[in-house]
Amino acid sequence: MAQNIAVKVDDLTVAYNYKPVLWDIDLEIPEGVLMAIVGPNGAGKSTLIKSILGILPPIAGSVTIYGKPYKKQRSLVAYVPQKGSVDWDFPTTALDVVMMGTYGSLGWIKRPRQKEKKAALEALEKVGMLAFKSRQISQLSGGQQQRIFLARALVQNASIYFMDEPFQGVDATTEIAIINILKELRKAGKTVIVVHHDLQTVPEYFDWVTFLNVKKIATGPVKDIFNDDNLTKTYGINYKVSIQE
Amino acid sequence: MNSAQIEIQLIASLVAIACAIPGTFLVLRKMAMISDAISHAILPGLVVGFFITQDLNSPLLILLAALTGLITVILVEQIQKTGLVKEDTAIGLVFPALFSIGVLLISKNANDVHLDIDAVLLGELAFAPFDRLFIGGTDVGPKSLWVIGTILTITIGLLIAFFKELKVSTFDAGLSASLGFSPVVIHYGLMSVASVTTVGAFDAVGAILVVALMIAPAATAYLLTTDLKRMLLLSIFFGLFSAIAGYWMAHALDASIAGSITTILGLLFLMVYLFAPSNGIIAVLYKEKQQRIEVSLLTFLLHLKNHSEKRERHVNHLREHINWQKVRAKTVLELALKNNMIVINNDIVSLTKKGDKFTTQAIDYIITNEDAQIEGMKDDFFLFRG
Amino acid sequence: MSLNEYFSLVFSDYTLRTITLGTAILGAVCGMLGSFAVLRKQSLLGDAISHAALPGIAIAFLITGAKDSNTLLLGALVSGLIGTFWIKGITSKTHLKSDTALGLILSLFFGFGMLLLTYIQKQPNANQAGLDKYLFGQAATLVESDVWLMAVVTGLCLFVILLFWKEFKILLFDPDYTKTLGFNTRIIDILITSFIVLAIVLGLQTVGVVLMSAMLLAPAAAARQWTNSLSTMVILACIFGALSGVFGTAISASQNNLSTGPVIVLVASVFVLFSFIFSPSRGVLFRQLRFIKNRRDLEQHKTLAFMYHIAKTHDNISHPHTIKILNNFQGFTRGTLQKLVKKNYVELDGNMWSLTDDGFKKASNLYNQQNNE
C-alpha cells in the first residue's frame, strides 16, 4: 500500500496517577481510512485519542501527524469529544458552539467575523441542523447535540478527525446521518478515527480497525483482521460475534 | 488552674468531640460545605428563638435553631432539584441570605438582644462558666456544659445504635437501600444531628469555628487512615487535643479561645498534610517520583520485549524515539542495569531472563486490571527502587 | 435619614455619592466575574477565598501598622491567593475532596484571622477600630481613593474580558477541546481565577469577608435565569450587582446600625428569588403553569380517546351515550367534560353525550399519533 501515513504513534505510554493505562502503543494510520478503535471498558480508547491530541501528557512516546510533531500540525486535526464531557446547560446557542470550531485558526484575541459565521452555517446545514441554529443547546436532543459537536469539528476543515463515541446516546436517524457524513469525509480523502462501542456495526461502518486493550492487539483493514481471534484476544474469554454477511 | 478554667476546657472538649463525630461522616459523604451552610443559616432561628425564650441555653431555642438548619438543607436540595443553578451555587445562595437576615435582626434589636455579632462569629467560651444552671437552688455547673453534654450523649447513643447503618449508607448508598435502611432517613438523621450540634456548639465557639471543629479533625484523620472506626477515634483525639492546647494558647496570647483552637487545628492539619506517612504531601511527592521512574522502567522493558530489531533497541533510541529527556533516560537505564533487568552489548540493549519474566508478569497484571499486584511484584524483583 | 432623603442627597452630597458609586462599581465587577465563577462550578471557591483573606488583613496591619486600606487589601490578596492554591494542592495531591478542602481552608484561615484580630484588639497602641469593618463591611468607610481603585480594577477587568472574550467562553464551555485548538488553557485559567480573587478582595471593605461570596454568586445566578446568551448574562449580572450595591447602600445608610454587607446580600437575594420564580423561560412559576396545562391537556386527550373507542363501535359517531359509562374511566371529571364541550368536541344532551365530527377527527388524529410513536 503506497498510502501516506496520516498519524504515526510511537511507543506511546500513558498513565493516570502512575497507573498505566496505555502501554507502548505503536500505531500507523494511513491517510483516507475510516477507522474504529474498539476494546473493552477501561481499555484506554479515549485515553489514546486524548493523548494523541495532547490533552493527556504521555509518559513516553511521540505522535507525528504527516511526519511532523503534532504541535506543529494542530490545524490539520479536529476533535469531537464525548457528548457528556461538557455542561449542556451553558448559556449559548447551537451556532455559537459551531463557531468555536473556527477559534483555533483565528488564534488569540481575534474575533470571528462574517467568513467564520458563513462556514459555521454551512457546517450546520451539512449536519441537518440549520433550522436549530439559534436554539439554546440545552433544548436540543442528545442526537442533535452530537450533530452540533460534529458540525463544530467540520468547521475546522481538518484532514484528520478524532471522535470519541459519537454514537453514544443518539437516535437511529442521527447515527445514520453521522455515519454518512463520515463516509463523505473519507471520500474527500480525509482520515477519520472513531472510538466505537458497538462491535456489530464495525464491518458495516468502517474499513479500518484497531483493537486495543492497554496494549495494541491488532490494527489493519476490517476485512483482514476483524475476526473472532482478535476479538477474543481483546475482550478475553472466547468472544464471538455473529457478523452478518 | 481554677474551677472556671477547668470548666471552660471541659466545655471546649465536649464541643470538640460532639463536632468530630458528625464531622467525620460529613467529610466522608462529601458534604463538608453543608456544615458551613448550616452554621451560618441557623442564625435567624437563633435570634427568633432568643426573642421568645430570652435564654441562649434554652432547649426550645436549640430546637428552633436546629430546625432552621434542617430547613436550610431542604431549601438547598429543593433549589438543586429545580436545576436552575448548579449544585454548589444553591448552597452559596441560601446561607448568606439567611445569615444576613440573622445579622440584621440582631443589629436592629441591639437593645433587646444581648447577642453580640462578634459572639456570633467567635462564641463566648470565656464567659460560659458564669451562666450557671441551678436545680432546686443548688449550682450544678455551667448551663452550656449541660447543653453540650446532653447533645454529646445523644450523638454517641445514636452513633452506637446506628453505626452499621451509617457505615453502609456512607460507603454504598445503593447497598444500604437494598438492605432496607433508607438512605433518606439516615441522611436527614445526620443532618439533624449536625444541626443540633452546631447550635449547641455555636454559643461556645461561634459560627465559622463550628465548621472548623467539624471538618478539620475529620479531614486530618482521613489523611492518616481510611478505617471508619479509627478515623472517628483519631478525629475525636485531634478535636480534644486542639481544644485543650487552644485554650492554653489563648491564655498565653490573651486572645480569642475559639480562634486559638482553630489555629491549633490548622497547625495539626498542616503537619499531617506535610508529613503523613502515606498520604502526606512529602510522601506523595516522593512516591510520585519513584512511580514515575518505575513506570518509565516498565515502559522501557516492555519496549525491549516488543521489539526484536536492533534499531529499536539501540541506546540512543531511548532518547530519540521514546521522547525522554537525557537525565530521565539515564536514570531509567541505570536502574534497569542495577536490577539486572537488561544487558548492554555494543550499545544494543537486551532483556535478561529476569527482566523478561518481570515484564511478562507486569503486562499480565495490567491487562487483567490487577495492577495493585505490581507493587508486590516490585518487591520481589527489585534490588533497588527508583 | 429616610430612603427618600438618601436619593435626593445622593447626587449632591459628596460622601453619599462616593459610597454609592463605590458599591455600584463593586456590584458590577462582582456580577461580571461571578458569572464566570458560577459557570465554572466554582461557586463556593469565592466563599473560601474571602474567608482566607482575613489573616492577610490582620498580618498586613501587624507588620505595617497602617490603616490604609490599600496596604491591608494587598495582605488580603496574598493570603487569599495562598488559600486558593492550597485548596488546589489539597484536592490534587490527597484523596480529600474539594468540599472538604474548601471547608478546611475557609474555617482554618478565618479562625486564624480571628485569633490575630482579637490579639490586635488587646494591643494598647493599636488603633484597631478599622479592622472590624472587614467582617461585615462598612460602606461608610469608603473614601474617594478606594472608589478610584475599584474603578481602575473594574476597567482593567472589563478590558481583559473583552480582549479574551472568545477564549474565556470556550474554556468555560469545553476545556479539553480548547486545548486541542492550541490555546494555553492554564494561562486563561489563571487569568480568570486571579481576577475573581481580585474582585473578592476589593469587596471586603464594603461587604465583608463573611458574605462576600454571595455578592459574587447572587447577581450571576439571577442573571442566568433571564437569558441563554453568555454576553447578555454577564451584562445582566453587572446590572443586578450594581443595583444590589446601590439599594443595599441606600437602605443601610438610611437606618442606624445596619452593616452594609448583609443588606446588599439580602437585596441581591431578592433578585435571585424573583428570577427563580418569575423568569419566563426557566422560572418555577411558569414551569408549574406549563406543567398544569400539559396535565389538563393530557386529561382531555385521554377522555377524548376513551370516548373515541366507544364511538368507534357504532356506525354513527354521534350516537349518544350515557355519562355513566365515563365514570368507570379514571381521570374523567365533570370539568374535563365541560372543557371538551367548550372546544366543540363533544355535545351534551341531558345525561347523554355524543362526539361531534370535530371531536372524532381530533381523537382519531391523537390515536394515530400515539400509534406512530
Q: What is the pLDDT of residues C49-78, one digit of tens each?
A: 999 999 999 999 888 877 777 888 899 999
Q: Which of left, alpha, beta for A216 (phi over 0: left; psi -120 to 50: alpha)?
A: beta
Percent of chain B with pLDDT over 70: 91
- Is residue B57 scored above 90 in pLDDT? no
Which amino acid, B178?
A: S
> With a CB-CB cutoff of 8 Å, which residues 19-58 of chain A face chain B?
19-20, 23-24, 26, 42, 58
CA distance, residue A43 to nearest chain B CA (Å): 8
Cβ-nearest to C217 among B82, B89, B211: B89
Supply the mean pLDDT for chain C: 85
Average pLDDT over residues B335-362: 83
More confident residue, A202 or C10: A202
pLDDT for the residue numbered B113: 62
Sign of the alpha-carbon dihedral angle for A131, A137, A138, A140: positive
Nearest CB neighbour to A91, from listed C170, C176, C233: C233
The pLDDT of residue B242: 95
pLDDT at position C369: 63
pLDDT more than 70, % of chain C = 94
Question: For cell 430546625, what's the residue?
Answer: B67
Is C166 touching A (CB cutoff 8 A)? yes
Task: Give the closest of B100, B107, B256 to C265, CB-based.
Answer: B100
The mean per-residue pLDDT over the stretch A139-153 comes to 91
Element containing residue C287 per DSSP (H, E): helix C284-312
Detail the DSSP E strand segments found in chain C: 321-322, 346-349, 352-355
Chain B positions in Cβ-Cβ contact with residue A87 (cut-off 8 Å) = 86
C154: pLDDT strictly greater than 80: yes
The helix (H) or strand (E) run that includes residue A38 is strand A34-38
Cβ–Cβ < 8 Å for A86, C225:
no
Q: Which residue of C has its CA nearest to B280?
A: C94
Q: Give the model's confidence band at C87: pLDDT under 50 very low, under 70 low, under 90 confident, else very high.
A: very high
Average pLDDT over residues B261-279: 93
Q: How far is C128 from chain A (nearest CA, A)?
A: 46
Beta bridge partners of A22: A14
Map grid coordinates 502512575 to a residue.
Answer: A18
- Average pLDDT on B161-190 reads 82
End-to-end CA distance of chain A: 26
Closest among A76, A81, A51 to A63, alpha carbons compared: A51
Q: Which residues of A fall within a CB distance of 8 Å from B360?
A: none
Instruction: Write out pLDDT tens, residues C161-182.
Output: 999 999 999 999 999 999 999 8
Q: Report the chain A residue with the minimal C-alpha distance to residue C164.
A: A109
B194 versus B373: which is more confidently predicted?
B194
Q: Given a cut of 80, is residue C366 above it in pLDDT?
A: no
Nearest CB partner across the interface for A214, out of B296, B298, B367: B367
Contact with chain C for residue A17, Cβ under 8 A:
no
Q: What is the reported pLDDT for C332?
A: 64
Q: Is residue C146 over pLDDT 60?
A: yes
Q: Which residues of A touch C224 (CB under 8 A)?
A: 91
Decide if A157 touches C, using CB distance below 8 A. no
- Do the chains contact at C104 and B216, CB–CB below 8 Å? yes
A10 lies within 8 A of chain B by CB? yes
Is the confidence at residue B194, as pLDDT, over 70? Answer: yes
Q: How far is residue B66 from each of residues B33, B41, B88, measured CA to CA in Å?
A: 17, 10, 22
Burial of residue B80 (number of CB atoms within 10 Å: 0-12, 13-18, 19+): middle
pLDDT at C337 (0 to 100): 76
- Are the Cβ atoms of B273 and C94 closer than 8 angstroms? yes
Nearest-10 Cα torsion for B68, B69, B72, B76: -170
Q: Residues of B with CB below 8 A from A23's CB?
A: 299, 302, 363, 366
Nearest CB to A23 within list B291, B321, B366: B366
| pLDDT band (50, 70, 90) for residue C14 | confident
Instruction: Assign residue C238 a region (left: φ > 0; alpha: ψ between -120 and 50; beta: otherwise).
Output: alpha
* Lowest mean pLDDT segment, chosen from A198-202, B30-34, B144-148, B286-290: B286-290
- Using the beta-carbon criterion (under 8 Å), do A86 and C174 form an inter-chain contact? yes
A83 shares contact with chain C (CB less than 8 Å): no
**Interval A218-222 mean pLDDT:** 89
Chain A residues inside the 8 Å CB shell of C229 = 91-93
Distance of CA B376 to the CA centre of its chain: 30
Sort out which chain B residues have CB atoms less than 8 A from A20's CB and list them.
295, 298-299, 366, 371
| Tens digit of each residue's pLDDT (9 = 90 or more) over B144-156 | 888 889 999 999 9
At residue A2, the pLDDT reads 46
Q: Which of B303, B319, B321, B363 to mutate to test the interface with A (most CBs of A within 10 A)?
A: B303
Shortest distance between the Cα of A65 and any Cα of chain C, in A, equals: 14
| Average pLDDT over every residue of B374-380 | 70
In this predicted complex, what is the ipTM?
0.90
The chains in contact with chain B, meaning 3 or more Cβ pairs closer than 8 Å, are A, C
Q: Is the pLDDT of residue B362 over 90?
A: no
- Residue C242 confidence (pLDDT) above 60: yes
In this predicted model, what pLDDT tens digit does every residue of C324-336 receive, in sequence order?
777 666 656 777 7
pLDDT at A244: 42
Nearest residue to A240 (alpha-carbon basis) of A200, A201, A194, A197: A200
Looking at residue C7, its pLDDT comes to 74
Q: What is the pLDDT of residue A245?
A: 38
Percent of chain A's residues with pLDDT above 90: 39
Chains B and C form CB pairs within 8 A to the count of 201
Cell numbers 464541643: residue: B15
Distance from the A133 Cα atom to the nearest Cα atom in chain B, whole angstroms? 23
Residues in CB range of B211: below 8 A, 6 or more apart: B35, B36, B39, C103, C106, C107
Q: What is the mean pLDDT of residues A207-226?
A: 89
**What's the CA angle centered on C240, arms C238 and C242, to 5 degrees?**
65
Within 8 A of B323 by CB-CB distance, chain A residues are 10-11, 58, 60-62
Structural domains in chain C plus CATH codes:
3-280 (1.10.3470.10), 286-372 (1.10.10)
Rounded alpha-carbon distances, angstroms, from residue B186 to B37, B118, B153, B236: 19, 34, 19, 21
Summarize pLDDT for C288-324 with one digit per residue, the tens.
888 888 888 887 777 777 777 777 777 777 777 777 7
Q: Is A215 on the interface with B (CB under 8 A)?
A: yes
Hey, is the C-beta of A57 within 8 angstroms of any chain C C-beta? no
pLDDT digits (tens, 9 = 90+) for A25-45: 889 999 999 999 998 888 889
Sorting pLDDT into bands at 50, 70 and 90, what band is B244? very high
Q: Are A103 and C176 within 8 A, CB to CB?
A: no
pTM of the model: 0.86
**Residue C95 contacts A where some CB pair is shorter than 8 Å:** no
Pairing of strands A191-195, A208-213: unpaired
Q: Tell me the one-letter amino acid at C136.
A: F
Beta strands in B106-232 (DSSP E): 132-135, 138-142
Q: Of B81-85, B260-264, B295-299, which range is least confident?
A: B295-299
A97 in contact with chain C, both atoms CB, cutoff 8 A: yes
**pLDDT score at A243:** 46
Which domains, and CATH codes, for chain B? Answer: 3-279 (1.10.3470.10), 284-381 (1.10.10.10)
Q: C228, A55: Cβ pair inside 8 Å?
A: no
Across the range C246-252, mean pLDDT stands at 89
